[in-house]
Structure 1
């Protein structure tokens, strides 16, 4: 196994972590399908689709930097386990609301605030723990395989959610809750890895250490801010319930397939990266991935054909995976382990803003410009930001190798 992309599975901690992540992601993706369809079917309000993202992002934004400090001070395994437990509570509350026949949407938004809080603490710990689970020589394979597993779950989750929705949202929330329970058990079985950290009080200076580090590294700043300002305008997935219902004229199962398509593209791309990792022209690869994401968004907004929409979402997922892969390696290789949680928290702020805040932006612009125009506008804006970032961060766009590869090359030449 040592010669292929799956060789990292020989590390027990990584295997348990990976399996727990798969089950947890499956559950959340299934819930997302049910929540989006329930909210839009009961209100037919595009703004409420945007509010689904905002309800998760607002607490995430408030808590994420302190969460990064927590990830550096306490065992990341226990943080992840507790956050998965909180997500289980959220799933059970959604199940209870549905079983009670709830007809208003504000309790759903309130529960999503709780979910966003759990995700704030889970994000930095999840990103930072991976490098502790495998030797450095296996880290790039672990990143690719972890991303592959995540996107396989993203593929299967919406499809399962859409199929289960035939039997009603209660079935979706029940199965999702069971999967989250399994993920909690699996993560608790992971042995706590060692961390290079010393306890320090939670002051503004220590909490903001990750932010200072990011702004002191133009390569890291350019990589993660590209995701923020480009994908911020490409949050078209928040509008998929409306696109499925009003433009493509498909039901919950069709919506599940639409939500599956980006994960399919990302999974296929990440599997390829596990066996053929990017080692040259890494800057161009990252910018190219974001550009493909923007082009796919434009096609999604311009089509009324279900198959074309699936292909566009497939390309969006593949392009996003390339950008995520390069950015994750850059951030983790450049960051000392003692502040990795706080830097990961800053990275999570940028990612969260581009996702949840991008979903809110899509809901607002859809209310202003109309559904399809809002999606097309987001794709055009993504391409514009990509071109602008190439000009603003030339050191990133011209980067040929990852920094640690350049150091190894220099050491060998010496």
Structure 2
């Protein structure tokens, strides 16, 4: 039997799968602990269901994913609106240093991924799908670059990217605590207080799902209009960029236009609808990720089981050594540097919420330090996506 769902039926199913993910996450301490998004949980369960009916030949379900690219572009456009040079200047020298370290990690992750793919006689571009695309980029970047790589002939790129991103979310939290404890105890660092005197975990920003914010209809409309204007002009910019003959993600023009618009707002000192932009971007990300996970072809991973495992474990070792040696040394060789190292494990293999969770766990045991709580979200939420997309694009064009 074949079921062809139209766009309305597809979105109804996507919404139900997102609710399923929220339900399963609420019932699992493991999923909550490692900050696995509901969209990933629900989408992956549906992907397993699709794998079962594909292998048994029971039925075929075809989804209309027309809106997936719109949600993707909307999300990355909202990221573009966060690229405020004014905020970067306010962040101080440590923001610049940490952003430089993050960029170096991105380059190393892609170098390791491409090199190991070549060792296993795989398409070198597939190595990027275990590099910074899923690691620093997370599921959002994985879901956007995966289809783009498939369009240029990299079979299974989306499936590998998103599977790697899920692996990274878990491992980023695991090795974050391990690296920090090795630094603190191995180097006998002076902490704010002793491990035995625990304090309540620090709640930072809006990473707490229950932190609801009051939004006005007027501001939401303004935010939506800004997003659509940036996306419209950005599509023209992307068309011009494509004339260079280089391969860029489809949303890059919208991100650039959004960044320009944001800095014009800052230059004129006009109020900016930041919270509303962030809300619409998060909404788009939830639907985009759910659709991306639901479309996974997990059977494509069977032939890549061993190479994929080796490449992912190599990324774990890379991030562990990079944070233990380089991040710790550059950021000051003290307790604060250990917190930075733990946070880098989180967003270097998962996402910024993982970095925050790593820092919360660490500072709950050893004491609060303020600087990482300002620097890490600033780099992880505002600037690293730009840097990551640029470096990935360089690798793609150099290899192909």
TM-score w.r.t. structure 1 length? Answer: 0.28
Flag the structure with higher helix content: 1
